[in-house]
Amino acid sequence: MLRDVRVPGKAGAVAVLAKRDGGEAPIGWRMFKRRVGELVKRPGFVALDATAVAAATAMAAADVSCLAVVTGRRVVGFVTERELCRRLDVDVEAATPVGEILTRAMPGVPKTMLVEEAIKVMLDRQTRHLVVLGPDGCLSGLVTDKELVDALAVDFMVENIACQELLRATPPAVPPDLSIRHTLAFMREKDLDAVLAVVLDKPVGIFTDRDATGKILGYPERLTEPLAHYMTAPVASVPTTAMVYKVILFMRQRGVRRVALFAADGSLAGLLSQQHILSYARCLG
Residues of the chain with pLDDT under 50: 1-28
The CATH number of the structural domain formed by 159-284 is 3.10.580.10
Indicate the domain borders of the chain.
Answer: 159-284
How confident is the model over 118-170, as pLDDT tens digits? 999 999 999 999 999 998 888 899 999 999 999 999 889 888 899 999 987 78
The answer for residues whose C-beta is within 8 angstroms of residue 98's C-beta and 6 or more apart is 46, 47, 48, 49, 50, 51, 52, 54, 55, 69, 79
| Pair 48, 169: CB distance under 8 Å | no
Instruction: Sort strands 108-110 and 129-133 into parallel, antiparallel or unpaired.
Output: parallel
Distance CA 194, CA 217 (A): 16
Partnered with residue 18 across adjacent β-strands are 4
To 10 degrees, what angle do helices 244-254 and 274-284 make? 150
Q: Residue 285's pLDDT is what?
A: 63
Q: Residue 138's pLDDT is what?
A: 87
DSSP structural state of residue 62: H
This prediction's pTM:
0.85
